[in-house]
Structure 1
């Protein structure tokens, strides 16, 4: 009888532990879902405010009515909303989603907290490609010479920046394959390529004419004001497909976080998953940087901020990072447009001011932060 009582008590204790674990898991899931909903609501409010604010303030209710009425209404406010502010805000949302998604994937496949499109040199490669197009392919022009403003041929420069960024990603993947596709190889190769592209860009600037130099500097500023409905459409298709792909393979990225050996033991083709993730992240980054210039640190900062709140489960981290990344870029661009009005700052300046201190913090904390 005593043995039966002990067995029953042990069984009851195990059942209670299982129920407690299930309750804690459901509580975490609820908290993550609440975070997703909350970030989505915050993004909607920030987007509405971004469209409403500017040199000409438009009431939020009027903004909603103008958007619902469609782009064919010919009024001053409708023209401002549909032709100027809405492409900018939607572009900021899509680029924020894309860069945050790329950073989350890179940090997972490389298993390194410093992995991001910016730190791996893809943005610097795009900068080099733009400089080559402006100086060597006559892609630079002076739109307002009297004001000293640099401008450029959007098609030639964008195509050259995109090809250079993708070429950089190709070199990283090729060398990684040659050396066994280790994360360390990819990171070190990316850092080396970024430094090389920076040096080459500096050399081009040194020999460039004053007008071409102004065009290069102007392009390097990340500015979502360059987005048009056509570029928004192209980038949206790529980012949505990329988000769908990463969510479908979120379990694979969770396995990679546990280490290569653990991932292989559960059936993950580690090299293929790492290469595909890098290609996808590089494609999204190359398009975003080619369209708007360098917007630094979004892909580095956002995944860490979100991970601190909801954990590292990619099924939630990927969409949450995308939402918060869009929110960060919309808020940063709104601040850049309104803080020193009528002067409009490029959003890349704002994100760099936010991201650079956080990058230093990550370097100092290192693995201690990553393991939390």
Structure 2
């Protein structure tokens, strides 16, 4: 049952990846798109797909998988159903670090007034700066958990405070930036897959593959931690080391994703919760399931965002001009209500207990 579900999700993702390369102002049939993907012959269709649409589709799959598995692991090792890179402030911390890398450490340049003209010239500087700030955020969380034994709700409130601090730092960078840099940073904060290129996709793929392999090799240890640290320690799991290593890997995933596409919220919260409802808490299935569902959610959300004007015209015959909504806005609309629901349900369970 669980293997069949994961296989169906994988097949659906493959078909949607091909289909979504056909969607856009320049219409391409499904079979022409598949032919262009398999044979980049230099035709107009192949050029559009390989240079514009396919990098974006691949980025949606990789970033969605990264955020999904990072959220699942954070929820396990922190024993907190509300944990995710976004809710704990790690995404905002990485965004601040990436902005520092772009604007102050010369890891990127602003080419002009267009909102799509941030060019990351040194991805290692940008991702390294983002990773450092993400570690500061997650390190603060871990320190508070170890020293004060705060409740899950208090952990999330700490995440809100961390987000506010790094958000203020990002606002300060914007305040002292010129107009073109300001426009680019603001747009990048919304989460946008349109700027990523093949080189950045390859970096993201390498980091995701390494992290996913580490998480999957530790799947039995994560299952043991679900029963509590004492039980896991009795089974030979070094819980402290596993918790730190897992959070470092999750922070690295977040930092690389945020560096290239900006802040995309709630994928790490939404995907693991839905997968747990479908297949349970077994990390043998939860880890790949969270990755697959995260990819599917972001893939669909990005396609909706870049075609929302055409969709409104089709439904309402409104005559609106075509426009694009950054995918981070779409995922926040979806994830915000879910976050409130999980929080309210948690308080109800406490009251009833």
Q: TM-score, normalised by structure 2?
A: 0.87
**Distance in 1 separating the partners of 2:243 and 2:201:** 28
Shift in alpha-carbon separation, 1:343–1:242, aligned structure 2, 3 A: same
Task: Indicate the residue corresponding to 1:173 in structure 2.
Answer: 139
Task: Indicate the residue corresponding to 2:314 in structure 1.
Answer: none
Task: Indicate the residue corresponding to 1:65 in structure 2.
Answer: 35
Aligned residue pairs total 336
**Distance in 2 separating the partners of 1:313 and 1:181:** 29
Which aligned pairs between 1:165-204 and structure 2 lie closer than 5 A? 165-170=131-136, 172-173=138-139, 176=142, 180=146, 184=150, 190-204=159-173
**Distance in 2 separating the partners of 1:365 and 1:174:** 26
| Local SS of the residue matching 1:224 | coil
Offset of residue 210 of structure 1: 2.6
Asked if structure 2 preserves the Cα contact closer than 8 Å seen for 1:100 and 1:325, the reply is yes
Shift in alpha-carbon separation, 1:262–1:326, aligned structure 2, 3 A: same
Which aligned pairs between 1:127-166 and structure 2 lie closer than 5 A? 127-133=95-101, 135-136=103-104, 139=108, 141=110, 143=112, 145=113, 149=115, 151-155=117-121, 159-160=125-126, 162-166=128-132
Which aligned pairs between 1:154-303 and structure 2 lie closer than 5 A? 154-155=120-121, 159-160=125-126, 162-170=128-136, 172-173=138-139, 176=142, 180=146, 184=150, 190-303=159-272
Q: TM-score, normalised by structure 1?
A: 0.82
- Is 1:111 aligned to 2:79, yes or no? yes
Asked if structure 1 preserves the Cα contact closer than 8 Å seen for 2:74 and 2:84, the reply is yes
| Local SS of the residue matching 1:289 | helix
Q: Which has the higher helix share?
A: 1
Task: Indicate the residue corresponding to 1:33 in structure 2.
Answer: 3
Structure 2: gaps (5+ residues): 311-321
Structure 1: gaps (5+ residues): 1-30
2:276 paired residue among 307, 310, 315? 307
**Distance in 1 separating the partners of 2:211 and 2:103:** 33
**Distance in 2 separating the partners of 1:60 and 1:189:** 47
**Distance in 2 separating the partners of 1:153 and 1:231:** 11
Asked if structure 1 preserves the Cα contact closer than 8 Å seen for 2:94 and 2:130, the reply is yes
Q: How big is each residue's C-alpha offset from its partner over 1:15-55, in whole Å with a ceiling of 9 and x where there is no partner?
A: xxxxxxxxxxxxxxxx2112111111221221121111111
- Is 1:359 aligned to 2:339, yes or no? yes
Q: How big is each residue's C-alpha offset from its partner over 1:104-134, in whole Å with a ceiling of 9 and x where there is no partner?
A: 1110000101111111212111222244355
Q: CA RMSD in A?
A: 2.6
